[in-house]
Amino acid sequence: MAVESAGVSPSQKTSPANHRVTWEGCSVLLDINDGDRLVFARLSSAATLKIGNKKCSLRPLIGCPFGSLFRVEMGANGSHLARCYSSCILAENAATTQDKDYLHSSSEMKDNRSLFDNNTAQSLSSEDIDAMKREGATGDEIVEALIANSSTFEKKTTLSQEKYKVKKQKKYAPKVLLRRPCSRSICEAYFKKYPTRIGSLRFDALCLLLSMANVGAYSDVLVLDMVGGLLTGAVAERLGGTGYVCSTHFGTSRNPIDIVRMFNFNSEVNSRIVHATFTDLCISRENDISSFHQDLIKTEGEIKNDKILDESIQETNVSSDRSCTSHEIFNAEMIVQSSPQTDSNPPIEDDEGISVSSTTVKSISPGRQASSELVNSWKERGFSSLIVAAPEIEVGSLVQKLLPLLSYSAPFAIYNHCLQPLAACMHRLQASKMAISLQISEPWLREYQVLPSRTHPHMQMSAFGGYILSGIRICSDACNGSQEN
């Protein structure tokens, strides 16, 4: 995206305690000229950004709070980014407001019928502008000189004058807004420039997915993310370092989650992002369910056959309790023995430099393999919610395989940019009686331009945000069993 970086990896830099301020090695989103161009960059001393025909260093952005505004200015060493402080911004906004009030209060009626675009209205030549740049004139000074030397500026309407100013400011005084990479900003940037990489997932559809799946603190969310990692990062951001998000995949190749690295997550949040193959989760879950039903059938048979022998039944129960107790003790011993080797959150050195169990501290990368303890806990109680974003795969049979991994009464949400796959999936779930409260939603969003005397919807906006199938998983086997009894 027209960014040259020195290659500082996030594992080499640790994020500071104050996450409102940028640091060297963090990812940022640069908004150039009010959304005309969006660029992802990793800050370092050698990173550069090309704006027009000028190449500016990103070093002045290090240590500045998110939301800071910068302008391209000419200096002795060439073009550089200079920060605009709040006092300058407030003064500029006040002057603009006064100009607008004066122009709107004027009773003079103007139109552009007498204006002709023949390149003779501007008396300031390109050589004069280059000479002003060499003398060190700022972009605002060049814009004011262009307005003063324009013979048709005063004859234009108010709207035409504002458009003229904005056009010249973008060319001679470009602005760069330092934005924090979050779920909304990343989704907006990709949706604007590379919508196919995220499955045309709009940010309002992403918010609706998280809400319908009931993603909250201390949740264990199963995610099938085929939109570059945007869904995984959004879930991890909502969890805030609590609970787990497990990204599953079919086959041997993992789905890429490169977008997660743009969120600037710390090691605590990255340790909560794990992955596990569908085969491991599915086989384990099916074995547990089949063994549970077999034990239930055996127990019912023993009770029916031994109704008269109460004493023998009591002895059998006591022996089974002892065996279960010994089995639990054995599992506990195995967990205690294996926990030092599979510790997912190694302790970090304290302020005095005293390490508890490790001598070196390394940042944890997102998407590590889920430990056996986590898989066993998910086998016992299941996941708390499921989110699927796989636009290129048939979701009907896919969801039927993933739903048994959830706990009962767990919500799920499925995104697709087409309606027919979700309708077929909904029909399958209704026929198999695996879920209730099934509904297909279509998110709708309209952006408005709010300006004096010209408030209206945007002329160019997205009219389509995909579809979402949501529901709640139920225990169909238990329902069938109760009907037979």
pLDDT at 363: 64
> Does some domain include residue 407?
yes
Write out the residue range of the structural domain in which residue 365 sits. 183-302+361-480
The model's pLDDT over 277-308, given as tens digits with 9 standing for 90+, comes to 888 887 645 454 444 444 434 434 443 444 43
- Other CB atoms within a 10 A radius of the CB of residue 380 amount to 11
pLDDT at 87: 52
Three-class HEC string of 200-260: CCCHHHHHHHHHHCCCCCCCEEEEEECCCCHHHHHHHHHHCCCCEEEEEECCCCCCCCHHH
Q: pLDDT exceeding 90 applies to what percent of the chain?
A: 36
> Does some domain include residue 402?
yes
> Does some domain include residue 252?
yes
Residue 16 has pLDDT above 80, yes or no: no
> Does some domain include residue 224?
yes
Mean pLDDT of 389-397: 87
Cα separation, 451 vs 363, in Å, equals 47
In terms of pLDDT, which residue wins out, 26 or 116? Answer: 26
Q: Which letter does DSSP use for residue 347 in this model?
A: P
> Does some domain include residue 213?
yes
Cα separation, 231 vs 468, in Å, equals 14
pLDDT at 283: 60
pLDDT at 461: 79
Cα separation, 355 vs 342, in Å, equals 18
Q: What is the CATH number of the domain that holds 224?
A: 3.40.50.150
Binned at pLDDT 50, 70 and 90, residue 238 comes out as very high
pLDDT at 134: 81
pLDDT at 151: 81
Residue 315: both structure tokens together: 């002895």
The model's pLDDT over 424-473, given as tens digits with 9 standing for 90+, comes to 999 999 999 999 999 999 998 888 888 887 798 888 877 788 999 999 99
Cα separation, 470 vs 422, in Å, equals 10
Residue 473: both structure tokens together: 């998983």
Query: How many domains, the chain?
Result: 1
Q: Are 419 and 440 in contact (CB under 8 A)?
A: yes
Phi/psi for 30 (5° steps) reads -100, 120
- Name every residue whose Cβ is closer than 8 Å to that of residue 325 and which is 6 or more positions away in sequence: none
> Does some domain include residue 79?
no
pLDDT at 384: 95
- Alpha carbons within 13 A on the beta-carbon side of 222: 29
> Does some domain include residue 406?
yes
- Cα Dmax for the chain: 112
Q: Which letter does DSSP use for residue 364 in this model?
A: P
Q: Considering only CA atoms, which of 94, 161, 170, 99 is closest in space to residue 139?
A: 170
The model's pLDDT over 340-378, given as tens digits with 9 standing for 90+, comes to 333 333 333 333 332 333 323 356 788 888 888 898 889
> Does some domain include residue 278?
yes
pLDDT at 109: 63
Q: In what order do the strands lie in the sheet with 48-51?
A: 3-4, 48-51, 54-57
